[in-house]
């Protein structure tokens, strides 16, 4: 009797992806997030350049905790996307391509983006 090949149910919560795969997924997600935020950045820049009153109005709006959380996420996204992009450019020219160094640089990018975001938020917000 022939065994039938049946589809296997994959529980995605039980799959442990390597850090390099997680880095790739997060790099794409931060790119999409930054692309979607771009019209809002342009709108707020345009408003802030209209007059000093508009600028002060926007500054007062940044005191809201929800706005600060969004800004922290966007700052982290920008830094993570930037550092991961530099990492991928280095991988393209065969720097850090070995498995161990690829893992190490993936962790470094994640840690460095987080620390830089915390430092920027601590200084500016």
CATH no. for residue 57?
1.20.1300.10
Residue 115 falls inside a structural domain: yes
Is residue 30 within 8 A of residue 85, CB to CB? The reply is no
Residue pointed to by tokens 């442990």 = 16
Domain tally, the chain: 1
Chain segment 76-114, per-residue pLDDT in tens: 999 999 999 999 999 999 898 899 999 999 999 999 999
In a domain, 15, yes or no: no
Structure tokens at 95: 């720097």
- Residue 102 phi/psi, 5-degree rounding, is -65, -40
pLDDT, tens digit (0-9, with 9 covering 90-100), for 39-73: 999 999 999 999 999 999 988 988 888 888 898 89
In a domain, 11, yes or no: no
**Residue 2 in domain:** no
Residue ranges making up the domain that contains 54? 20-124
Q: What is the pLDDT of residues 4-35, one digit of tens each?
A: 777 777 777 788 889 999 999 999 999 999 99
Instruction: With beta carbons less than 8 A apart as the criterion, state whether 124 and 75 touch.
Output: no
DSSP helix/strand/coil, 4: coil
């Amino acid at each position: 009797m022939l065994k039938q090949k049946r589809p296997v149910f994959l529980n995605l919560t039980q799959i442990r992806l390597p850090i390099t795969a997680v880095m790739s997924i997060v790099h794409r997600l931060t790119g999409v997030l930054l692309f979607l935020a771009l019209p809002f950045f342009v709108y707020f820049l345009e408003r802030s350049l209209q007059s000093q009153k508009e600028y002060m109005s926007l500054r007062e709006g940044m005191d809201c905790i929800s706005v600060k959380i969004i800004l922290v996420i966007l700052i982290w996204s920008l830094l993570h996307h930037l550092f991961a992009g530099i990492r991928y450019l280095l991988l393209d020219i065969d720097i850090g391509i070995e498995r161990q160094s690829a893992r190490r640089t993936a962790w470094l990018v994640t840690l460095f983006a987080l620390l830089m975001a915390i430092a920027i938020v601590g200084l500016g917000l």
